[in-house]
Amino acid sequence: KLQFLYFIVFLQMITVVGTSCVDYISTFGEYPQPDTKNIARSTAVSVGGNAANVARGLSIMGNAVNLVTPLYSDPHAEMVKSGLEEKGVNLQYSCQLHGNTAMSYIVLDASDATRTIFHTPATVSFTHCTLPPLTPVLVLDGRHAVVANAIARNFCTQAPSTVILLDCERHDREGVENLLCLATHVICTASFLKGKYPKEECGLSSFTSSVQDNVHVVILTQGSEGCVLCIRNGSTWSTEHFPAAPLKEGQRIEDTTGAGDAFLAGLAHALLRGHSITKAISVASKTALIACLAIGTANYP
């Protein structure tokens, strides 16, 4: 019975590797002009960071989540730790480091629901950790490449059937090319492709042609325009566009902060439960929308 229960728990376990930080979010009627004094409509503080957002979302959706992220020695670290543990995220395999936690200052423009992020990185690099146990799905946010690479390689060696999701935001992020050689599913943005192929209008076809055989799925996220799904079929790729989840009557976009992380959490959640990639995209689009209906990422999806 114990073995059976462990097997059931294993099927619902997921590992997330990447960054965590503290988000300071201030909302203004419109984006402040230079050399002006402005009064914020509201200010909030919450746990942020791509991997932390994904892990928290997955835990809220009922998954057992191991988050591998650096936890620092400053006062902000306790906020990160308690905020994640309150949502059920397991930090056993995260690493305690001396230094200051990363911080993001987010300015929301209420006139058009856009946001501008000013990020201060952590002061100490995250280069080692205890390898977490194997899980059916592994999510990498593209940061802390040394640790992410070591964990992904262990998963590939010990459990070749692992679904490895890689979030690609910037083409010049250190170590991303190595991680692309390990991922099975790549989720990227238009800015990632534009940075990688600056002379091309989109770059999606060039990207799918360049990735190695380990990559089976590429998803280009397009915000309110939805996403483009590319699936490998031998030496060719099939492409399909999916619209974003529609707003219901009375709903409005409040803040797009963390929408991409919510999309990734929904995608991982659905794939962990054996859904098709098209069903997973439907789930991901809905969780991304839910994330946009409130300010900040504290309570999504």
Q: What is the pLDDT of residue 249?
A: 87
Contact 119, 101 (CB under 8 A): no
The position carrying tokens 């794939």 is: 271
Q: Rounded CA gap, 166 and 176, in Å?
A: 9
Residues of the chain below pLDDT 70: 1-11, 296-301
Closest by CA position to 148, among listed 55, 268, 14, 17: 17
- Asked if residues 24 and 106 have their Cβ atoms less than 8 Å apart, the reply is yes
- Do 13 and 66 contact (CB within 8 A), yes or no? yes
Q: Tell me what pLDDT residue 300 has.
A: 56
Query: Are 147 and 24 within 8 A, CB to CB?
Result: no
pLDDT at 116: 93
Instruction: Extract the tokens encoding 56.
Output: 């928290």
Q: Which of 189, 193, 169, 191 is nearest to 179 (CA)?
A: 169
The predicted pLDDT at position 8 comes to 45
- Quickly list H helices, the chain: 2-11, 50-60, 75-86, 145-158, 176-180, 190-196, 204-210, 259-272, 277-291
Q: What is the pLDDT of residue 280?
A: 97
CA nearest neighbour of 224 among 114, 301, 141, 108: 114
User: Measuring CA to CA, which residue among 33, 175, 44, 151 is closest to residue 105?
Assistant: 44
> Using an 8 Å Cβ cutoff, are 121 and 96 in contact?
no
Q: How far is CA 100 from CA 73, 75, 104, in A?
A: 7, 9, 13
Classify 38 in phi/psi space as left (phi over 0), alpha (psi -120 to 50) or beta. beta
Fill in the DSSP letter of residue 244: P
Residue type, 258: G
